[in-house]
Amino acid sequence: MLGRFLEISLHTPDIQASLAFYESLGFMQATVGETWSHPYAVVTDGRLFIGLHARPCPPLAVTYVHSDLAKYAANLR
């Protein structure tokens, strides 16, 4: 199992403009921790979470989290 679905991650050079865009579509800002060292925000409609990241990333990335990632990754090799 890959883990728990976290978000669809998108790169944006302007977090504030992206937030305004998604809020105009009815999304709301989600509470985030300090997981990443780069600026980011997350918006949600209650079912879908979209991560807006200021660092370059693939055009669209589906992001999962796993409770014991190091052990799980070792098993993939």
* pLDDT at 34 (0 to 100): 73
Q: 63 is written with which tokens? A: 């992001």
Structural domain including 31 reads 4-76
Query: Which CATH number do you get for residue 52?
Result: 3.10.180.10
Structurally, the chain folds into a number of domains equal to 1
How many secondary structure helices (H) and strands (E) does the chain include?
Answer: 2, 5
pLDDT values of the chain reduced to their tens digit, one per residue, 77 residues: 555 667 788 889 999 999 999 999 999 999 887 777 788 899 999 888 898 988 877 666 666 666 776 776 777 65
Residue 67: CB partners within 8 Å, gap ≥ 6?
3
Question: How many other CB atoms are there within 10 angstroms of residue 3's CB atom?
Answer: 13
A 10 A CB-CB count for 63 gives: 14
